Structures are given as structure tokens and as C-alpha cells.
Structure 1
Amino acid sequence: MNDITEQFTSLYHPTSALIVYQSVAKYDSANTYIEHFDIDRNGTLVNAHPLTIREAGRLSKALKIQQEKETFLTPKDIIGKHILYLDAVKSKAVWFTPTKKRQLLFTEKLGIQQGEAFLPSLLWSADRNHLSVFALISNRRPTLKATLYNAPFFNVYESGNVCMGTVDIRIQKTASLEEFTTAWEEYFFNSYFSHLMGDYNPIKGNCVSLWEELISTGKAFPKEVLKKSIIPLKSLLQ
């Protein structure tokens, strides 16, 4: 029989060890000494020496990375029903927001007055560096069979990917799930909508006229202008 263990798991070998010495004197309990050992191929502790500043720095960095892995996308509370998918290993989350009114910003060249307008229900998919947005017909929590629609905004590709332009994205490595989703929504709505992506029009009709009317009248978003997306919801949950 062949040993195929290495083909499906990572092997870890001990390479160093730390031993912490503390004074036994009652009056000197705060006095601590740390000794660093290398470990040879036989598992024997060798090369004993005081922990150096460089070694302490590497240890601190390793602990920080581990802490970030353990805390990133950790919920602060019970996970809300708006969260559809969560993968802390991939640093990814998928969530949706119901119809609501939001402040929208536009560049001068579009000629659209900035202001509040009602939006359709939206579906968001993001990792630490990328964001995709789609529209939904219903305010109900979507299932895998739900149809996605193109997000009716400027700066969004047909694939749903958002062009953030020069926006400086800084998602903290220790961000909670709630901080992560809130940060992405704020980045999206606090940036200026500026242009359509090439010849792609996300709605049935004129996108400029749509937002001019919605901002000036305060009407509910007309769902009939939405176009079905080519992206299935299931593909976002990977």
C-alpha cells in the first residue's frame, strides 16, 4: 500500500520552542526570563539562548496574524437574517438589504442633482478587496432559486462587479461581520456615480432620466425597469 497522506494534508514539524522562567521569590514574582531553543530533526532542544528582539518580533507578527484570522468576520451578535453566506477563510460574505431610501452622489458631468431616492432591494457580495451588487424584485430573504437583476447604478459592470475608481478601500483585518457589511455599503454610497461601463446599460430605459425622476419626485423604485442578470445567485456562494 502507498502512503498518500501528504497529498491531502499539510504536515507541520516543530522547529523551535520557548521556555518561560519566572522567579520563585515572593518579592520578585514579576521577574520573567524567556529562553529560545531550536529543535533538531530528532526533536531535541538545542542552541539555547535568550529570546532576541528579532525573534520576539517574529513571534508577535505570527500571533497578530493568527488573531486576525480568528476575529475577521466574527459576528458581534446573532447573525441577522440578511446574511446569506459567510466564509471567514475566504474573507467573503453575501447579504441583502430591503428597499430603502439612500443619499446618492453623482459627478457634475452626469447632470443629476444629488439627493435621496428609493432603491430596490439589493444583494451584496464582497471580500476584503472587491464588491459586487445586484438587484432583487422582492424584499423577502432570497433563496437559491431567486433571480438576480442588474444593479440599476452607474459604475457597475454587467457581472455585478463595482468599479470603485479612486476610492481608498480599507477594510480592517479584524473587522467584525457587521463592520464589514456596513463599511462596504458606506463605501458604495459615499462614492460618486460617474459613468456607465462601456455600452452596457443596466436598466430598461435611460439611467440618467431614471435617477433624475426618482430624486425629484420621491417615488418608489419602478421594478419594471430592472433587467435580469446573467449571474446566478448560487455562483456567488462559492
Structure 2
Amino acid sequence: MKDLTGTFGNLYEPVKALIILRKTGESQQSDYYIESYDMDDKGCPINGHPLSVRESNSLAKALQAGEKKAQGFLTPKDLMPPNVLHLNSGADGYVIWHTPPQPVKLLFTENLGIPSAMAHIPALVWKAGKGSLQLFAVYAAEFEETTPLFYAPFFNIYPDGRVCMGNVRIRIPNDCGLERFMERWQEYFFNSYFSHLIGGHEPIKGNIVQLWQQLTANAEPFPTEVLNPTPYQLKNLLR
């Protein structure tokens, strides 16, 4: 069974129920009557009464706050961050961005025989939505639609770039701004333990365990010549 607890947000309890009644006649217009119910501690409606002006105003404020919160999703603080390659802020919004070659702290499970330590990684292209992440490596410092993508040289990644996050609980709030959204996904990825290759997938030329044993033991730049090309270009990440 799949553990869905990581998809849960804040818990809500019922506090009010509304029933909308409509009276229809011969005219084209209809009359509406709204009845409001409070909820008892068991979640059952009680104390039915006409919806008051005060309750109407409270409901309107709640709806406006919810709409404003949803509109904040993937909104940049100021100018668009320079490392963003593509932004889709629709209902199923996602972001594509890149990060440069850099040293990061990598975590490995004990069975791999690789120490958890700082190591240099190549430039990466990330694509993330609210609940999923794809990751690829790149040679390029400048990007266009035909930029070729390489397999990210890590464990726990499928051949199509999808990242298996294991038991990491992904929590992206509905009002998460663009900068924090990218930061959260990078934190989720680098704070999870690498444990295994998926389905015989070979992301690099040679032995990936020996590669990371070497890179965690010294401060060498990542050897990009070991990256294996994918059949994808940057344009394939757009949908």
C-alpha cells in the first residue's frame, strides 16, 4: 500500500453547514433562501437558522483569503529569478530551473559503502510540481529548447528523470512562492538518503559507487565526461 500521509496538509474540522434552497415560479428568476447550521462536537448539524449578515461577511472574507492564498503559489518575490527556465503557474503548476556545478552535502545509506560527505556535483536541471520531481544533468551554461539532457548521476532516480523520494514527506503549501518552492525541493532532495539504483538504470559510464567514493574523499570537480546522455532535450520537459 502507498503511504499517502505525506500529501496531507493541515487538518480541518466542520464548524458550519449551509443549505441553499431555491423557489422557482413562472418567472425566469428564482428566489434563494440560505439556511445555516452550526456543528456539534460530533460533526452533526444543529441549530438551523437563516444565514445572518455577520455569517455572510465571515464567509466572504474566508473565500477571499483562500483565493488570495492560492494566487500566491509560484509567485516570485520580485523579478523572475535568473535560474528559472520555465514557469507554469496554472492549476497543475510546475517550474523548470537550473543550478550550477557546486559542492553539496550528500547522504548515503550504510549498505552502499559511501560516506555521507561534501562532494562536487554537476550542473542540474530540475522540474518540479507540487508532488513530484524530475532531475537531469547538463553540460550547458546557456539554455535553449534543444539543450541536451543527461542522466542525473545519483541513486534513486528512474530513467525518465523522476526522483523516488522514499519516505520523505513532501509538504508544499498552497501559497508557496516561487523562490521558496525551489529551495524546498532542493532541500528535500539533498536531505534524503541515496540507497539504490532503480531497475538496472546506469546513469553514468562506469561504477557509480566507486565514483562517489572518490568524490566524497577529495575536492575534485565532478567529471562530466562520465555522464550518460538521455533521449531528451530541454523542450521535452515542457508540457
Band of TM-score, shorter chain: 0.7 to 0.9
Most deviating of 123-132 and 75-84:
75-84
User: Does the residue aligned with 2:216 lie in a helix, a strand or coil?
Assistant: helix
- What's the C-alpha RMSD, in Å, of the aligned pairs? 2.5
Q: Does residue 108 of the first structure (1) align with residue 110 of the second (2)?
A: yes
Most deviating of 176-185 and 223-232:
223-232
User: What is the Cα deviation at residue 69 of structure 1?
Assistant: 2.5
In the other structure, the counterpart of 2:37 is none
Structure 2 counterparts to residues 1-238 of structure 1, below 5 A? 42-43=28-29, 46-47=32-33, 49-51=50-52, 59=60, 62-89=63-90, 90-138=92-140, 140-238=141-239
In the other structure, the counterpart of 2:3 is none
Deviation track 1:89-143 (CA, whole Å, cap 9, x = no partner) reads 12200000011100000000001011011110000000000000000013x1311
Most deviating of 95-104 and 225-234:
225-234
User: Does the residue aligned with 1:200 lie in a helix, a strand or coil?
Assistant: coil
Alignment-mate amino acid for residue 80 of structure 2: I
* Matched-pair contact (CA < 8 Å) for 1:122–1:151: yes
User: Does the residue aligned with 1:231 lie in a helix, a strand or coil?
Assistant: strand
Change (3 A) 1:158 1:57: farther
Change (3 A) 1:64 1:235: farther
TM-score norm. by structure 1 comes to 0.77
CA–CA distance in structure 2, aligned partners of residues 132 and 54 of structure 1: 45
**How many pairs are equivalent?**
202
User: What is the Cα deviation at residue 60 of structure 1?
Assistant: 5.8
* Matched-pair contact (CA < 8 Å) for 1:155–1:162: yes
Change (3 A) 1:57 1:159: farther
Deviation track 1:46-89 (CA, whole Å, cap 9, x = no partner) reads 43743389877865664344223211000012112210111111
User: Does the residue aligned with 2:232 lie in a helix, a strand or coil?
Assistant: coil
CA–CA distance in structure 1, aligned partners of residues 65 and 231 of structure 2: 41
* Matched-pair contact (CA < 8 Å) for 1:96–1:141: no
User: Does the residue aligned with 2:111 lie in a helix, a strand or coil?
Assistant: helix
Percent of aligned positions that are identical: 38
CA–CA distance in structure 2, aligned partners of residues 54 and 224 of structure 1: 65
CA–CA distance in structure 1, aligned partners of residues 88 and 29 of structure 2: 36
Change (3 A) 1:217 1:57: same
User: What is the Cα deviation at residue 206 of structure 1?
Assistant: 0.4
CA–CA distance in structure 2, aligned partners of residues 65 and 56 of structure 1: 14
CA–CA distance in structure 1, aligned partners of residues 204 and 188 of structure 2: 23
CA–CA distance in structure 2, aligned partners of residues 211 and 188 of structure 1: 17
- Indicate the structure (1 or 2) with the bigger Cα radius of gyration: 1
Deviation track 1:145-203 (CA, whole Å, cap 9, x = no partner) reads 11100000000111000000000000111000000000000000000000000211110
* Matched-pair contact (CA < 8 Å) for 1:98–1:121: yes
User: What is the Cα deviation at residue 231 of structure 1?
Assistant: 2.4
Deviation track 1:15-53 (CA, whole Å, cap 9, x = no partner) reads xxxxxxxxxxxxxxxxxxxxxx97767445543743389
TM-score norm. by structure 2 comes to 0.77
